Structure 1
Amino acid sequence: MDRIKLRRAVARTPLAPIAAFPKRLRTVARHDAKVLRRSARWLLTSREHHNYTYDLTSLSRNHLAWFVSVVCDIPVKQVRAYLGEIESDDGLRQHLLAAIAASDRRGLADKEIRYARRIGWYAIVRATRPTHVVETGVDKGLGSVVLASALLRNAQEGHPGRVTSLDINPEAGYLARVAPWSEVVDLVIGDSIASIGALDRPVDLFLHDSDHSRAHEKREFDAVEPKLAPGAILLTDNVTSTNVLAEHAERTGRRFLAYRESPANHWYPGDGIGVAW
């Protein structure tokens, strides 16, 4: 009996799980070895302790382009142009490198500039041309600068806008404190729910990226709902952990989609973008 016939015969017997074990073990070992190599390299070369940054795989980047294309109802070719626009912005990249190098917190930030799913935020802002963007959760301010860059490009094309960035940490947002990006960023320090309640103009695009507990995420979307402009877009950075935005979309009669990123050469499995519109 040849090897193929023998395997097929064994597969029909109670010995099948035992016979398959070595192959299953090799598969798991190869996967775990890859993760361990990436983890070890990250431990030795990265400074980040949270809010990890990385590039997307080419497949994940392509899926992101289609995701934005569907949400914003624009050709995917245009979305790819927006993604390339932020990725090739040397002025922004040099600013970020200089700001990180000069910061007292540089020991917790990598020197390489990698945007991950934030390029999707950029493309959505470029496509929808919002007048007022609100983001909760700023940390170093990388996302704020990405959003501001999109708004500055929109302004050059005759569609100005501003981003209100909310964070409870008074040290947050050091990357967004330099012109020209700072010229379109209003950094507000305080509790996000109270800050949302104090907003004095309609919100065209809202991004939750603060306290990632389910209860707080829900409170933010409930708080911002009466502040939204007609046709406003809601985004969450928490979509891989909760179903809060999907439930909010269903409750308020909106559509909902989720995208999950795949980091390139990183141990972290990635986050995503949830959108309701």
Structure 2
Amino acid sequence: MDATTLRRALARTRLAPVVAFPKRLARVARHDAKVLRTSARWLFTSREHHNYTYDLTTLSRHHLAWFVSVVCDVPVGQVRSWFAELEGDEKLRGHIETATATASRRGLADRHVRYARRVGWYAMVRVRKPAHVVETGVDKGLGSCVLAAALLRNAAEGHPGRLTSLDINPEAGYLARATPWADVIDLVIGDSIASIRELDRPVDFFLHDSDHSRGHEKNEFDAVEAKLAPGAILLTDNVTATNVLAQHAERTGRRFLAYRETPARHWYPGDGIGVAW
């Protein structure tokens, strides 16, 4: 009896789990070893302690391009060109690197610029040409810079817009305090729910990226609903953790889609983009 025939025979007996165990153990060990190597490398090469930045895998970038294409009803090739537009913006990249290196919080931030899913935010703003974007949760201001860069490109094409960035931390947004990006940003410090209720102009594009508790996320979407312009688009950075935006979309008669990113060479499993429109 050859080895293949023997394995097939054993697979039909009670010994099957025992015989399969070494192979299963080897697969788990290889997976865990890869995770440990990636985690160890990150511990010694990165300074970040939260709100991690990373690149996307090639496959994940392809999926994100198609996600934006479907949501915004534009050719996927055009979406890829907007990805390239952001990533080729050397002025923005240089600013982020310099501002990170000289910031008082530089000990907890990586200087290397990694946009990940934010290229999707950028492309959506380039498609939709919103007059008023609102984001909740600013942290260093990387996302704010990305959104502002898209608005500046839109303005150069005759479609001006502004970004209202909301955060409860008075130290938030240090990357977004330099011109020309700061020229289109209104940074508001305070509770996001109260700040949303005080908005004095319609919202065309809303992004939840603040307190990721389910209750707070729901309260933000409930608060902004009365402020939305016709045809507004809603995004959440919390889609891998809750179903809040999907439920909000169902209640308000919108469509909903979700994308989950896959980081390249990083231990963190990634976040995603939920969209209701």
TM score, norm. by length of structure 2: 1.00
Task: Indicate the residue corresponding to 2:44 in structure 1.
Answer: 44
Q: Distance in 2 between matches of 1:209 and 1:32?
A: 31
Write the letter of the residue equivalent to 1:55: D
Task: Indicate the residue corresponding to 2:254 in structure 1.
Answer: 254
Task: Indicate the residue corresponding to 2:201 in structure 1.
Answer: 201
Q: How does 1:89-104 map to 2 (within 5 A)?
A: 89-104=89-104
Q: Deviations along 1:3-50, whole A, 9 cap, x unmatched?
A: 111111111001111111001001000000000000000000100000
Q: Distance in 2 between matches of 1:239 and 1:17?
A: 37
Task: Indicate the residue corresponding to 2:65 in structure 1.
Answer: 65
Deviation, structure 1 residue 111: 1.4
Q: Distance in 1 between matches of 2:76 and 2:114?
A: 22
Q: How does 1:14-93 map to 2 (within 5 A)?
A: 14-93=14-93
Deviation, structure 1 residue 127: 0.7
List runs of 5+ in structure 2 lacking aligned partners: none
Task: Indicate the residue corresponding to 1:227 in structure 2.
Answer: 227
Task: Indicate the residue corresponding to 1:152 in structure 2.
Answer: 152
Deviation, structure 1 residue 96: 0.3
1:207 is paired with a residue whose SS is: strand
Write the letter of the residue equivalent to 1:163: L
Q: Distance in 1 between matches of 2:4 and 2:254?
A: 54
Task: Indicate the residue corresponding to 1:111 in structure 2.
Answer: 111
Q: Distance in 2 between matches of 1:111 and 1:206?
A: 28
Q: Distance in 2 between matches of 1:17 and 1:64?
A: 40
Q: Distance in 2 between matches of 1:231 and 1:2?
A: 67
Write the letter of the residue equivalent to 2:215: A
2:187 is paired with a residue whose SS is: strand
1:274 is paired with a residue whose SS is: strand
Write the letter of the residue equivalent to 1:225: E
Write the letter of the residue equivalent to 1:5: T
Q: How does 1:138-177 map to 2 (within 5 A)?
A: 138-177=138-177
Deviation, structure 1 residue 88: 1.0
Q: Deviations along 1:50-73, whole A, 9 cap, x unmatched?
A: 000000000000000000000000
Q: Distance in 1 between matches of 2:111 and 2:191?
A: 30
Deviation, structure 1 residue 117: 0.5
Task: Indicate the residue corresponding to 1:212 in structure 2.
Answer: 212
Q: Give me the CA root mean square deviation.
A: 0.4
TM score, norm. by length of structure 1: 1.00
Deviation, structure 1 residue 273: 0.2
Deviation, structure 1 residue 102: 1.4
List runs of 5+ in structure 1 lacking aligned partners: none
Count of aligned positions: 277
Q: Deviations along 1:196-242, whole A, 9 cap, x unmatched?
A: 00000000000000000000000000000000000000000000000
Q: Distance in 2 between matches of 1:150 and 1:180?
A: 12
Q: Distance in 1 between matches of 2:147 and 2:29?
A: 41
Q: Distance in 1 between matches of 2:35 and 2:111?
A: 23
2:206 is paired with a residue whose SS is: strand
Write the letter of the residue equivalent to 2:49: H
Q: Distance in 1 between matches of 2:100 and 2:234?
A: 30
> Identical aligned pairs, as a percentage?
79
